[in-house]
Amino acid sequence: MGDMLLAIHRRSWLQDKLEAAVTNLIIRCNQAYQKGLSRIQGPAPNVCHTDKRYREQMRRPMWDAKWRLYRLWETVDTIRYCCEKIQRLTQEIEKQKRNVYPARSAFIEFIEPLSAHLACQVACHHQAGRLQAQLVIGPEDVIWANVSLTGWQVYLRRILCVVVMMAITVAGAPLVAGTGILSQLSYLRKAFPSLTWIDKLPDWFISAAQGLLPSLCLALLMMLLPALLRWLCRQQGLHTRVAVELMMQQYYFAFLFIQLFLVVAV
């Protein structure tokens, strides 16, 4: 499933590239014809599209199998290259579609947003966990890799994600406590005789370590944590990016409440 989605994204990128190159070629040929180059020294209108002066060139993308480091400055014809790659990717996608199980979801479009909200409030099935209705803003909001997951797979992933979140919370306690210890170097120097080497450090360094270093470490931890939680929520089996962001906010609030309130207070 992941390989097919990657091939679809690459084909979409090549299609946009091809459309831009063809449009640019038409504009250049039209400008050449309007300026009279096709009648004097330029090519004829029927062969203008084959002249390299009017055709856009591009470098091979990094994911191309023929890309090499020594070919870094080599360029190819954009239109010809995109047509060949789109044809090859289309064949690969059609082959991979045969090995993909049918999605266990259906999408219904409504003309008015109110109709969509009313449809989501209707009980679709008498058993819980079946035929659940969700609002989707658009196709770009759907996480297509999670659409074909079964209910049991979603439940198991949710349990595993909760366990991992608890482990992250427990592992984050020493880190947050360590940032608090850095702000108490003067107290540690008096409490533990083995740390007398702190007296040899300059006063400006101790002041900076107590005042600036804990804040930087804590800010760095809080900056990296949302990205980790967002990835964890995507693995949970949620179907939309909006649901991922909402779940990430819940996990993030729980982590902040435990670490920055309970741990620091205790």
Higher pLDDT, 242 or 33: 242
pLDDT score recorded for residue 130 = 65
Question: What are the CA-CA distances from residue 107 to residues 111, 130, 138, 238 (Å)?
Answer: 13, 15, 10, 16
- pLDDT classification of 191: cutoffs 50, 70, 90: low
Claim: this prediction has a pTM higher than 0.75: no
Cα distance between residue 145 and residue 241, in whole Å: 12
| Ramachandran area for residue 103 (φ above 0: left; ψ -120 to 50: alpha; else beta) | beta
Q: What residues does each domain of the chain span?
A: 1-99, 151-261
List the Cα angle 166/170/176 in 5-degree steps. 130
Return mean pLDDT, the chain.
77
pLDDT tens digit sequence for 231-259: 999 888 888 888 899 999 999 998 888 87
240: which DSSP letter? B
Q: What is the pLDDT of residue 27?
A: 83
- Which residues make beta-bridge pairs with 76? 58
Tally of residues, the chain: 266
Is residue 1 over pLDDT 60? no
Give per-residue pLDDT as tens, 140-160.
778 877 777 777 888 899 999
Whole-Å CA distances, 16 to 23, 76, 79, 81, 88 = 11, 17, 11, 13, 16
Per-residue pLDDT tens digits for 66-107: 666 656 677 888 888 889 889 988 988 888 877 765 666 777
